Amino acid sequence: MILKNPNIIPSRNQFRVALLEDDLEFAEELCNSLRGSGYLVSHFATGHDCLNSLLNEDYDVCLFDWHLPDLSGPEVMQHLKKNGRLPPVLFLTSYDSEANVTQILLAGADDYVTKSPVFNVLNARIVALLRRTQTNSTPNESETLGQLTFDYRNKVVSRNGARLALTGTESLLAFYLLRCRGQIVARKSLYDLMGTFNVAVDTRSLDVHISHLRSKMGLNVENHWRLSSVYQKGYRLEYLNMEPPP
């Protein structure tokens, strides 16, 4: 059963949500909770129906089940990505083991919640994704540091001229850490950025994202970068300019 907290509402109403879920009873409860908080929800019981709608209509965020009778949630996501029609995706999963969380994030999801979610947690995750996509205050400029170029307006990171395939959450974390480079960023700040409430469960989600950033962006000393974990505090991103002064 979905537990709804009536005091938690989206910061802006009338956002469009695509729900892909073949458990009709669970889907009905979730749709009612989301609509009660002002979201416009379209429910799809099959991957094909969801994909067809998303290819032809605009949605602000997707809630995907993993296993479906036809196209799985990750398969729908991959089709959308190929067509340049992929909104932020939050997966609904019955499993929260490290292996399952890693699989979800590697598939390109922005976030996940375990079934059946407490509604204020689910809503916070949705609001966090919407906040990222609706933010329009970044400057029209870019910055190149070593092998990496950061496009602040479009939230794009390139490495040696090639655009990196960062997920939405990875991009969000990368630019936040970049703005705070040289400083220790508290884990709580990163949890808040991701809309994380259950830190005991979701600490591994943050660590998986950080690991992916290190790998994809080449954040190592050889490339003049260091993304380090500071014990019991958080993370610190540093650009190590090793060139001698003129």
pLDDT per position as a tens digit, 29-52? 999 999 988 899 999 999 999 999
Task: Give yes or no for residue 201 having a pLDDT over 60.
Answer: no
Listed range (56-65, 122-131, 166-175) with the worst mean pLDDT: 122-131
The dihedral through the CA atoms of 131, 184, 239, 228 has a sign that is negative
Top CATH class of 16-134 equals alpha beta
Distance CA 64, CA 129 (A): 14
Name the pLDDT band for 90 (thresholds 50, 70, 90). very high
Task: Give yes or no for residue 200 having a pLDDT over 80.
Answer: no
Helices (H), the chain: 24-36, 47-56, 73-82, 98-106, 119-134, 168-179, 187-194, 199-217
Distance CA 86, CA 72 (A): 15
Task: Give yes or no for residue 137 having a pLDDT over 80.
Answer: no
- In CATH, the number for domain 142-239 is 1.10.10.10
Task: Give yes or no for residue 197 having a pLDDT over 60.
Answer: no
pLDDT > 70: percent of the chain: 84
Distance CA 107, CA 19 (A): 18
Domain coordinates in residue numbering, the chain: 16-134, 142-239
Task: Give yes or no for residue 203 having a pLDDT over 80.
Answer: no
Task: Give yes or no for residue 104 having a pLDDT over 80.
Answer: no
How far from chain centre, in Å, is Cα 158? 19
* Cβ neighbour number for residue 112 with a 10 Å cutoff: 22
* Cβ neighbour number for residue 87 with a 10 Å cutoff: 20
- Main-chain phi, psi angles of 107, to 5 degrees: -70, -10
Name the pLDDT band for 17 (thresholds 50, 70, 90). very high
pLDDT for position 202: 61
Mean residue pLDDT of the chain comes to: 82
Name the pLDDT band for 4 (thresholds 50, 70, 90). very low
Name the pLDDT band for 186 (thresholds 50, 70, 90). confident
